[in-house]
Structure formats: structure tokens, C-alpha cells
Structure 1
Amino acid sequence: MTNSTENIRMLAAEDLAQVIEIDEKNTGRSRKDFFEKRIKAALKYPKDFIYIAYEDGTGLMGYLLARLQTGEFGGSNTVAVLDDIGVRQNAQGKGVGHHLMDELTRIIREKNIHEIRSQADWPDRPVLNFFGASGFELAPRYIYRRDVNYLDRKIAEEDENQEMDFSDPSGDGSAALSRDKIPCRSLTQEDLAAIIKIDRKIMGFNRTSYYDRKMEEILTESGIRVSLVAERDDHVVGFIMVRVDFGEFGRAEPSAIIDSLGVDPAYAHNNVGSALMSQLMANLAVLRTDEVRTEVDVSQLALTGFLQSNGFEPAQSLSLSKKTL
């Protein structure tokens, strides 16, 4: 495999069956739905994805799936998020994965993108070794998780006004509130303007393009729709955007991924965030989803406190980053 550039090309829809085959042999489980949804999204929004194939005369030897995101964690830069990379078993140890990673680096540099992000589980040493050899380092972000179960703790009336302000950057309180006090309902496309308005109040700048794409992702690409909004005084005062994904970052088990949580600062001491989290847990419990995960920047201390008070704990997973300047 010396002439690596001759074996590199963009992944095509016709490669899907081989991608699923490679992954199933490597993991022992099928993630057919995950790959089908990712390919469908890439065909619809080709500028948002980079899918690379490595082949030889016998067929597909490896693949890489990455998506381009702007606005994650409150930033304004576009980054490449590496969702999955797989190499056929008889081609492992021959540099295929590194060729795929080099090609991703080359492509994003041409697009003036200078960071690749991913995640890896701590016990998965071969994957961690691969990322280390590819130039990845620990990112300044933490991954939190919790088991899905009902979150029905109630607070005393005299405690409601003592709630900490967790609206920076997204969230409003650590004490859990019974979800029947603040009405929560399923998020719809019509809520987009209210979500953007709340986020602009919190962040201080407009992230319309981020939420345009995120809304499309959670409403059409997620396996199950579970995102919510909270309402007070006849308007939206908070939201939680969640995906139920079967396969992201190489995981075969279904997990709910919290992408964004926001509360109107004017309602920062009214337990809106806790009501949203309580309703989310109740919905996921019915759907038999086992785990909820999210990623938090190290500077988001208030949000970290909110998550911990609602039962989240550090996951045995690492957030990784590679600069490509």
C-alpha cells in the first residue's frame, strides 16, 4: 500500500453494504440504521460531511465518516467531527487508518478548517493508541453521562427563589422540579425562532446557521424525536435538543445525546432547566433508552454543576482534538 493516494476516494452510496459489513465484523454488532441515516444525510447536505473510502483491487478496505459543524460549544469556528473510522480486518496494521486520517486532514485544510474532534472510550486502548499516533490530544471538554430513570425529586416552595443561575451558557438550576409545574412539550420546527432568540440572549451573538442545521438533524436524522421546549406565560422559555443515536463514535448501544440546553435568562430562577431534564428522563425511560450523554466545555462551570445535581457523572470516555494548522 505504498501508492496510498491512488486508493483514496470519496465514499459513495454504493459502498454502504461494504461499510456495514466491515463495521459488523469489527464490532460484532450491526449498526445498519446508523450508517443508512448518515449516508442519507450526506447525500442531502454534501457540504456538511466528508466521507472517505480506501480501496484496493479487491474492494473497500476502510472508510472514514466526518461531519462539519459550526457553533458547537458556543464557538464560531467550523470543526470536523470524526464520527467513525473502520478498517477491514485483513487490512489492519497496514496504515489504512492513517491514510484515511491524512486525507481528512488534507481536505479540511483546503476548506480552511483547522481542528478535528472525536471521542473514545477509556477502556478501548487500540482506538486510543490510534488517535494518539494520529496527533490527537485531550480536548478541554468533559463528557458526562447518566443512566435513564425517572427524575421526580421535588423542591420545597421556599427553596425555589434560592436556585442558582445556570443560564450561562445553558441551564438554570440544580434543584429538580416536578415537571408538572412547568409545561414541557415536544419541540417542533415552529419553535426555531424562539430557540434562536433565547440562545442569542445567553451567548450574546447570533447562531442561526447552527440551529438551522441542528433542527434538521434532530427532527429528521435522529432515530427518535425526544427534544423538548418549556413554556411559561404563553411562550417558549427554555429548550433541550436531544438526539437518540445508534452508533455515534463507534458505540453500538442506543444513547440519547444532549446537544444543547438553553433557558431564557428572564426565567433563570424558575427551575425551567430542571423541568426539561425531568420530562426528558421520563420520556426516555418509556422508550427504554439506557443512557444520556453530553459534552461540556471546561469553562462551563454552571452547566457542569447543573448536570451533576441532576445525576450526571463523568463518563469513562475522553474528548479528543487534533489541530491541523
Structure 2
Amino acid sequence: MNTHAATDAAVTVRALAADDLDAVVAIDAAIEGRTRRDYIERRLAAARREPAAHAQFAAVVGQSLAGFILARVLAGEFGRRRPALRLELVGVRNDLRHAGIGRRLFDALDTWAQRHGMAEMRTAAEWRHTDMLEWFDSLGFDLAPDQIVDTAVEPGSWRPERDGPVALEAGEGPGHEIDYGRGEANDHERVERDGADVRSMVPEDLDAIARIDRDITGRDRHDYIAARLGEAMDDAGVRVSLTARRDGAIVGYLMARADLGDFGRTEPVAVIDTLGVDPEYARRGVGRALLAQLFANLGALRVERVETIVPQRDLALLGFLHAAGFAPSQRLSFVRAREAGA
């Protein structure tokens, strides 16, 4: 088909449906050079479980799927008070590229975001992915005032030198989800966990975690934390949640997930969404213990890197992560703020 044959009149944009799975997988495989069926199937299933938290659209030409776009609502991530929308994945059939289908899909997403009160859109991509960066620029995205940092998963090799009352929020994204919620460990990492007893989070931990988070952030994010904990309980392959205990009480927590689907992803990466330590237990090794347990789990499951996103102004948090071996990532964070009155 001629790339210009798909005129505005010929393209229909509708909500993505479960029956679109095979076509989405095929388009994505043609773009990426490999199949990511498990990842895409999980993203569509997550939207069915929690429809208010996802926006997913399909572009149809004739009777065939021509493209798709997937996004997710950010409620507590990035430390934001108002909800935002994170663009996770977009794909257009190779024979229909440059026919304006990507723009039609984005416009549908933007209309959805406006209707649901999203303050902004966010996304991320590797700096070498120039085609995607040019597309973001044409849509009005700017570099975000955040820094993505990452490190290799080499349990025992990182250099934790300090701990602090931190609350860490990272961007939401898709994942080639792997079950890394299991508690594998070995004696090499055990010394790093002496700062606390680290174990998997359970629903009964919610109130204590929400209290610590409130002490750190000054805001009540009980609902956000409950939603992420519920996700971990429903599917341990999507998310892992850990708590740290000292003196018989919860004094810290960490939430992370596996991610392979974002633009430019080539291997499983663990993304830390939230990390918090009770201010009364600052500098007692609690944060180090949580990271050490996470690294042990990821190393056992052959996930090679872990990343997170931090506001550039949060020097204390950046210092903590840099001391743990994190460094600036090759990926950039972008934001598209809604215009006043829009």
C-alpha cells in the first residue's frame, strides 16, 4: 500500500481491544526485530484489570490494524500532586509510516488526557533514538527537569556510603515482566542487609508504609501506595515490593518493576518506583539493606540493570543513589505540559 493512501478519511481511531493482540504483536515485532508478545499481552491485561489507569488506542485502515498507542496514568509517581499520563509505546505498520497515523493516535490520546484532567504527558527514550526524539519534538515535548540514573546489577559490587529519609518516585512504563519478587539471596549480600530485616510486602503493611511516606512527603498517598501494592499481590511478575523492619516495626520500603517495552529497550531493566526510609531511622543502613535485597533478587533472575528517575533539584537523593553506584543513563526524560486553559 502507498504510504499516502491512508488519508484522514480512511483512518479510524478507536479503543484498543483484546482481539487486537496478535496484530499489535506483529507490528511491534516488525519494528523491533523480535517478538515481545508476553510484554504486550501483560500491558493489555493490565488495562483490563485497571481501565481507569490506562489509555490505549488503535488506528484502523479498512479492516486491518494500522497502528497503536499505549499510555498509563501516573498518580503518585514523580512526586506529583496532579495526575499525568505516561506515553509508553506507539507503533505504526511499516507500509503506512509517514501517513500521519502516529499523529492521529497521539491526538486521540491527548483528547483522552484533557478529558480526564491530566496535567501533562511524560515519556522517555534513549538519546540515540533520533527518529523518536524528532517525533517527540514535533508533538511539543521538552526535556523534563528530571534525571534518569541507572547501574549494572552486580550484587555486592556497589558502594553504599550513606542512607537518608528518601522517597523515590520513578516513571511508569511497560515491562517484559519477570517474577523477581522472590527472596533469593546469598551470604555475600547478607552483610549489606544487616541494617534491617528485609522481606516481601504484604497487605497488612499498607498503613505503616503510608505513614512513613506521609512523614517524608508531607502528603497522604495512601490510595497510590495501595494500588501499587495491589498490583504486586495480583501479579508478582509485574512488580516487587519489599519492606525493611527494625525493632519490630516497618522502617522502610521499596517498590520496583520490570521494564522492557519502553522506547529503545533491548533487555530487561528493573525500575525503582518508590523507596522510603523512616526519618527516625536515617543513616542506619535501611536504604542500603533494601537495595541489597533488590540487587540479590535481580542478579538471581539475570536482570542486568536497574534504573530510576529523580528530580534534578533533589541533590540528597541523587547523592544517595550515586553513592550506591548509579550514574546518568543514556535515556532522557521528556514532558509535555498542557497549555493554560487547554
TM-score of the aligned structures, taking structure 1 as reference length: 0.91
| Aligned mates of 2:46, 2:323 — CA distance in 1 | 36
| Aligned mates of 2:137, 2:257 — CA distance in 1 | 28
Matched with 1:54 is 59
Conserved? CA contact 2:165–2:277, under 8 Å: yes
The equivalent position to 1:21 in structure 2, one of 14, 19, 26, is 26
Matched with 1:185 is 199
Q: Which amino acid aligns with 2:256?
A: V
Structure-to-structure mapping, 1:1-325, within 5 angstroms: 1-3=6-8, 7-151=12-156, 166-170=164-168, 178-221=192-235, 223=237, 226-249=240-263, 251-325=265-339
Matched with 1:160 is none
Conserved? CA contact 2:92–2:102, under 8 Å: yes
Conserved? CA contact 1:73–1:296, under 8 Å: yes
Conserved? CA contact 1:227–1:241, under 8 Å: yes
* Number of aligned residues: 314
Q: CA deviation at 1:177?
A: 6.7
Structure 1: runs of 5+ lacking an equivalent: 156-162
Conserved? CA contact 1:54–1:62, under 8 Å: yes
Q: CA deviation at 1:248?
A: 3.3
Mean Cα deviation higher: 238-247 or 218-227: 218-227
Q: CA deviation at 1:166?
A: 2.7
**Residue 170 to residue 246, structure 1, CA distance change in 2 (3 Å):** closer
Conserved? CA contact 1:81–1:118, under 8 Å: yes
Q: Compute the RMSD of aligned alpha carbons.
A: 2.2
Deviations 1:52-74 (A, max 9, x none): 11011140010000111212122
**Residue 225 to residue 101, structure 1, CA distance change in 2 (3 Å):** closer
Conserved? CA contact 1:82–1:249, under 8 Å: no
| Aligned mates of 2:104, 2:78 — CA distance in 1 | 29
Q: CA deviation at 1:224?
A: 5.7
**Residue 168 to residue 229, structure 1, CA distance change in 2 (3 Å):** closer
* Partner secondary structure for residue 248 of structure 1: coil
Deviations 1:104-127 (A, max 9, x none): 111111122131100010111111
Conserved? CA contact 2:212–2:276, under 8 Å: yes
Conserved? CA contact 1:141–1:319, under 8 Å: yes
Q: Percent identity, please.
A: 40
| Aligned mates of 1:264, 1:249 — CA distance in 2 | 35
| Aligned mates of 1:248, 1:195 — CA distance in 2 | 29
**Residue 219 to residue 277, structure 1, CA distance change in 2 (3 Å):** same
Q: CA deviation at 1:153?
A: 6.8
* Partner secondary structure for residue 72 of structure 2: strand
* Partner secondary structure for residue 120 of structure 1: strand
| Aligned mates of 2:82, 2:46 — CA distance in 1 | 22
Q: CA deviation at 1:193?
A: 1.6
| Aligned mates of 2:236, 2:139 — CA distance in 1 | 30
| Aligned mates of 2:42, 2:322 — CA distance in 1 | 32
Q: Which amino acid aligns with 2:128?
A: P
Conserved? CA contact 2:197–2:246, under 8 Å: yes
**Residue 319 to residue 225, structure 1, CA distance change in 2 (3 Å):** closer
Deviations 1:109-168 (A, max 9, x none): 11221311000101111111111111110001110110101136798xxxxxxx766314
Conserved? CA contact 2:210–2:225, under 8 Å: yes
Matched with 1:159 is none
Q: Which amino acid aligns with 1:40?
A: A
